Structures are given as C-alpha cells and as structure tokens.
C-alpha cells in the first residue's frame, strides 16, 4: 500500500470537437510533468469539449483515444483518468476511463445527464458506481453534473478519494466550489475536482477552479482561475485514516436504500 498518492491535475483549454489536436496537446502537457506522480487527471470530454454531437466523435473501446491513454500511462508509469465520448451497443456514453500504468482499463459512465444542455437526449447514462483500487487507495470517480447529487456520491464503500472531472461553466462556479467542499466533508474523503478553462464554440466560458480538498474541507491547492496549469498535490493516507478514526463521522451515517 502506498502511504502517499502523488497526483497531477491538468487544467487545460480544449480545442472544440477536435480529438486529434486535443490528444496532441495533452501529449505535450503529460510529457511536461516533471514530478514523479502516480495519477494524472484530465478534464471531462477532454478530446472534444462538452459536445452534443456524439455521432461525429464517438470512439470504441479499442479506438485511438484508448490506445493513446494506454501508451501515455505506460510511458509515465502513472494512471491517467478523464472522460470522452464512447459508442457501445448502439448507445453513446460520456465515459470516464481510469487507465492503469500496465494498460488495464476501468470505466465509469456518467449517471446524471445534464438536461439543461440536452445531454439526456443524446447520451445513455450509467447506473453503477465504480470504485477503483489503485496502489492501496480506493478511488470513486464521477463526472461533472454528478457533483450536484450527494446520494450518488455517498461513501458507503469506504473510499478514500472522490474524483470529479468536469466542464463546469463559469457562471455557476460558486456552486462548484461549494459542492466540492461539501462532498469532501460529508464523505470524510479527499475530493479532487478537475475543470477546464477557456471558451467553447457555444460561447460558454470556463474558469477552471480545479482544486484538491481534504476530508475536513481544507483547500490543499491554491485556486487557479482562467489559467492552463499543471497542479500537483500529495494525498496522505495516514492523515486521512487518523482523522476518520478520531472523529468517526462515517460510522454515524443514516441507512437508506437508493431507488
């Protein structure tokens, strides 16, 4: 088990609906990571931006982006996580991939489609929470709009890290900042939120505000707005377990069934 988990958060602009160019850009950014890290996190829909045209850009699980992720993970000897558009059995998914350094791929399909943008009309949704076991850490990866639904993130599986990848627009960034802290506090876990910057083809602006938060709601990284940047953070397992044991809040949670 790794006592510490060293993470690189890549806060980046995205080239609208251009997977080839975005893979080139992220190749450069991942290669530029100078510190030894075990986990690299990319934004939601990192190959296209938040596109509602899945028919044009969907890939299979043996497509170019999966192959690229496996190659980069092997070269950096680090897991890489981010979401992009996948087609499977005739359905389109906003799918998060967690690619291990050895090439093993684990997935999570976004549960809550963003109806305000019509995501529910073109994408199928998932119905399973995924818990990733990596280097002695239990990681729960979720996607953007999932952040607004605390029951879905409820820590019933004793995960250590809650991870959100996002394209969260600037006008609602106050909610992003508040809800990330709430999810960390109520679940007594680390919480990492990775958001894009820039302006997409629809005119929506994104300020980033990517951040890592500890289990008491403390900010572990400085807030970074409107800037492309690689943000480094180290998660400490011993500190998390010590705080949980001392306070015991998770042991007092209510029991209920989700339907």
* 180-208 tens-digit pLDDT: 999 999 999 999 999 999 999 999 999 99
Res 2: pLDDT: 62
Res 160: pLDDT: 98
Q: At the topology level of CATH, where does 4-250 sit? A: Nitrilase/N-carbamoyl-D-aminoacid amidohydrolase (3.60.110)
Active site residues: 44, 110, 144
pLDDT 10s digits, 33-55:
999 999 999 999 999 999 999 99
Give the separation between CA 74 and CA 68, rounded to whole angstroms: 10
Res 194: pLDDT: 98
Strands 137-143 vs 161-166: parallel, antiparallel or unpaired: parallel
Torsion of CA 12, 15, 17, 18, to 10 degrees: -110
Give the separation between CA 40 and CA 80, rounded to whole angstroms: 5
How many CB atoms are closer than 10 A to CB 228?
15
Give the separation between CA 120 and CA 111, rounded to whole angstroms: 10
Give the separation between CA 167 and CA 165, rounded to whole angstroms: 7
Pick left, alpha or beta for residue 20 (phi over 0 → left; psi -120 to 50 → alpha; otherwise beta). Answer: alpha
Instruction: Give domain limits for the chain.
Output: 4-250
Q: Is the separation of the CB atoms in 60 and 54 below 8 Å?
A: no
Pick left, alpha or beta for residue 9 (phi over 0 → left; psi -120 to 50 → alpha; otherwise beta). Answer: beta
Give the separation between CA 76 and CA 234, rounded to whole angstroms: 17
pLDDT 10s digits, 20-30:
999 999 999 99
Dihedral sign for Cα 10, 180, 250, 255, please. negative
Give the separation between CA 108 and CA 32, rounded to whole angstroms: 27
Strands 105-109 vs 4-11: parallel, antiparallel or unpaired: unpaired
Give the separation between CA 182 and CA 170, rounded to whole angstroms: 19
E strands present in 89-228: 91-99, 105-109, 132-134, 137-143, 161-166, 190-195, 197-199, 205-213, 224-225
């Amino acid at each position: 088990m790794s006592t510490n988990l060293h993470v690189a958060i890549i806060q980046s602009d995205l080239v609208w609906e251009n997977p080839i160019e975005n893979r080139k850009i992220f190749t450069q950014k991942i290669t530029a990571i100078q510190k030894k890290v075990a986990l690299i996190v990319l934004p939601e829909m990192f190959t296209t931006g938040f596109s509602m045209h899945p028919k044009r850009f969907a890939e299979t699980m043996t497509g170019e982006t999966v192959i690229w992720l496996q190659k980069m993970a092997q070269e950096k000897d680090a897991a890489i996580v981010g979401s992009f558009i996948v087609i499977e059995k005739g359905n389109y998914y906003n799918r998060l991939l967690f690619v291990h350094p050895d090439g093993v791929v684990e997935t999570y399909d976004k549960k809550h489609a963003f109806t305000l943008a019509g995501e529910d009309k073109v994408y199928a949704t998932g119905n399973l929470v995924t818990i990733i076991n990596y280097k002695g850490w239990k990681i729960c990866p979720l996607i953007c709009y999932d952040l607004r639904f605390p029951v879905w993130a409820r820590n019933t599986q004793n995960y250590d890290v809650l991870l959100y990848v996002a394209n969260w627009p600037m006008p609602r960034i106050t909610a992003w900042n508040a809800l990330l802290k709430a999810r960390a506090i109520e679940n007594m876990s680390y919480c990492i939120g990775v958001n894009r910057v820039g302006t997409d083809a629809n005119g929506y602006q994104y300020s980033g505000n990517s951040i890592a938060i500890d289990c008491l709601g403390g900010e572990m990284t400085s807030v970074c707005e409107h800037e492309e940047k690689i943000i480094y953070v180290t998660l400490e397992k011993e500190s998390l377990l010590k705080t949980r044991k001392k306070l015991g809040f998770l042991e007092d949670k209510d029991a209920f069934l989700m339907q």
